Structure 1
Amino acid sequence: MWFFEKESNAFSLVSDNKIINILIDKEDQRGIHIAAENLCEDFSQVFGMKPQLTTEISDENCIIVGSLNSKSRKPLGGCYPDRIWASEGDSPSFLYVYANGLNVPDSLAYGGWGGRFKMERTAGIRGMDFIEKSGKSEKIYDPYFMHASTSEGIAAINKWRQHILNDFAARMCWATTDKFSDANHHPVVVFENDSTFNFSSKTVEAGEVLQLDASSSYDPDGNNLHYNWYVYEEPGTYKGVVEIESDKQGMCVLHIPEDATGKNFHLILELNDDGVPSLTGYRRFVIHVK
């Protein structure tokens, strides 16, 4: 990230924009500087997280583990760092804004591939102890406020761990061929003739029975599809049980609880194909109960 204090036009550049800066273990002070100087009205930071995004190696399934195997997937893999293990804090920042039907970057508390964050800002979030040991102090920026991760911590990312891994593996495979048919691609969720990645917001009555039809969804490779409708519990305010009929079919029936008045819950459609590696499409429904 560029050092804002050295750029005279940086303040105007970010004044009307959102910065998503998700740092694992808060490796340096750049995020703190942005927060302390209030350079951006909406600044997000997650800390104290070390996602272990690795899986078992399988050449047959094109699952990638470590840089040695990744580098064999030319030409993209050839640019991969020449280290067997190189954990870093950058990936969640990109995963947070990745359009996949699940992520909603403008809503910090919704959760997704980049984690989930508290809506209220927290004061004095400190970085790794080596910052103090190196003679620097974050206290010079006090008071500063950031959006910290929610109580799930790294579990908010690991919830989608296998999907993230398979997505990366597929992209590495794409780099090995110029033939579309030689690689797997994401299934496409279609709901009410809409195949975008936008989430759907619905206002319903308590006790209402709602039918949701995504049976027009398809796979560009002609693979079989597996539907999974479920409630993503953490971001919703309703914490009771929501009954879902036909939760493994393209069309589900949702029973709105009688005691959910004034609350909301998040329904997720997860659409997996049976390609190699298996890839996932999503659609999020935010259900508001009157």
Structure 2
Amino acid sequence: MPGIMLIDGNSLGFAAQSTSKLTAGEMEVQAIFHFLKSLRITLLGYSGFKPIVLWDGRSWRYDHFAGYKAKRKEDPKAIAEKERYKAQKPWIARATRTLGVNQMMAINWEADDLAGLLTSKARSRGDSVVLISGDKDWLQLVEPGVLWFDPIREVKITYRDFQTQTGYVNGRAFLQGKALKGDSSDCIPGVGGIGDKAAPILLEKFGSVEKFWAAAETPGFELPEELARYRKKLTEFCAPEGRDRFAFNMMLMDLKTAERPKPERLTLDKGAFDRAAFRSICEDLSFHSLLRDLDNFCAAFNNNQRDKDNEAA
């Protein structure tokens, strides 16, 4: 086995939910159908990698920042769509299990945190890692031996083309840039108005926020010409309040932070390939196109099960 494939379950699931509506009886089923298709395509694209679907628990970040993802609770349409997706999640988990794919969750961690933990462990063993997600937060984990692939937009980013694709030299710089800019989707404010334009320049010129602070404390320090227009904002950033805001954002955003709590009720749901059980699910949900080509659809998962059996032997 060349390594592991870490799959962001809700990233694939929400994307699948937003496709054309499918129903079985009164329940929407498009999230289930397209999740399974995306899962199969991903396995075929990275054959030999051991897949693990990672699911979100209730994030520990809510306990540190009351405004975390607050706007997502204000849109009635988004809330209703989320509820329709949640109704399908048990079916997704059940189908994934019958296809022989492992799943993991901790009740106080997001899938992002699990990805950070498992990536670190895999790299310490010398294993390669494929990150499957549309969530760009996972880009901070890219390094030699780790690549990120968004199956929805069909975008792949490796450490070799990281700067070309992201504007940052590596994953750590990407993380620090994000901490400077903030994250509107998670309702995390930025630091002193340092936005999309200033953050990449600062990190390109100085290498890291810490090196910028050190340089700014040097007698006779002058900002590079490209940053001169941001002088006031960067001066404020060097003050204690700016440093504290940056440190707080890093704590929330760093997927390898030592400040997060230990995972609670960490569970590994081990999948076992069961063609008959998967066929029954497809029949219950009226997935006729999968049933017509069931052997071909299942082949990618059956091969994955054989790899697992060979490892066990």
Per the shorter chain, which TM-score range?
A: under 0.3
Structure scoring higher RCO (CA < 8 A, sep ≥ 6) equals 2
TM-score w.r.t. length of structure 2: 0.25
- Normalized per residue, which structure has more helix? 2
TM-score w.r.t. length of structure 1: 0.27
